[in-house]
Amino acid sequence: MQDGIFYLCTISIILIFAGYLLLKKRNNNLLIHTTRMKKIILVLGIILLGIGCNTEQEKMDKMNKKILARITNVCQLAPDQVTKISPITENFIKVRIATKDKYGNNEQGFKNAMEANRKSLIDTLQKILTPDQFEKLKASFQQQKNKNGQGGDQEGGGGQE
């Protein structure tokens, strides 16, 4: 997914640059429809760039909502707890995406970095949740880990992302 967004943004930038160069190079021999085409290329590049950037934010928001919904469901959070936990899970997702970009194909490096990220998330959640809520959350994480066959890197498991 990251690569697709990167390519979309790259193509958008190329289209914008090409449109700019074509508009800048004014030649009296150009037809009116050619000028319109240049403007269309420029606008298309800008639109594609906007779509690429928006897609990344939507993906992060979707992941955050999914994790937050799971924690809320499992722990039966109070509204003030949801407010406190939301930025924490959002940061967890940002670190996860950055870690994935950083380690690329280095599976072991990614796994180690994500383990540290998960530990940080759990430690922070422990300070916000009641002891009973925290035990429910730990049990849920363990159940998800067992379900995934120790595959903690798969998306979809609240603390397993």
Exposure b/e, 122-147, CB count within 10 A at least 16 = b: eebbeebbeeebbebbbebbeebeee
Exposure b/e, 44-57, CB count within 10 A at least 16 = b: ebeebbeebeeebe
For 29, phi then psi, to 5°, come to: -80, -10
pLDDT at residue 161 above 60?
no
Integer Rg of the chain from CA: 22
- What is the extent of the structural domain holding 33? 2-160
Reading the block at residue 43, the tokens are 């606008």
Q: Are 96 and 110 in contact (CB under 8 A)?
A: no
How far apart (Å, rounded) are the C-alpha atoms in residues 33 and 39? 10
Percent over 90 (pLDDT), the chain: 9
Q: Of 90, 34, 97, 40, nearest to 65 (Cα)?
A: 90
**In the predicted model, what is the mean pLDDT of residues 99-114?**
85
How far apart (Å, rounded) are the C-alpha atoms in residues 102 and 75? 33
Q: Of 123, 127, 129, nearest to 78 (Cα)?
A: 129
How far apart (Å, rounded) are the C-alpha atoms in residues 116 and 99? 11
The whole model's pTM is what?
Answer: 0.58
Q: Are 114 and 154 in contact (CB under 8 A)?
A: no
**Domain total for the chain?**
1
Q: What is the pLDDT of residues 113-126, one digit of tens each?
A: 889 988 998 899 99
Q: Are 41 and 22 in contact (CB under 8 A)?
A: yes
Average pLDDT taken over every residue of the chain: 75
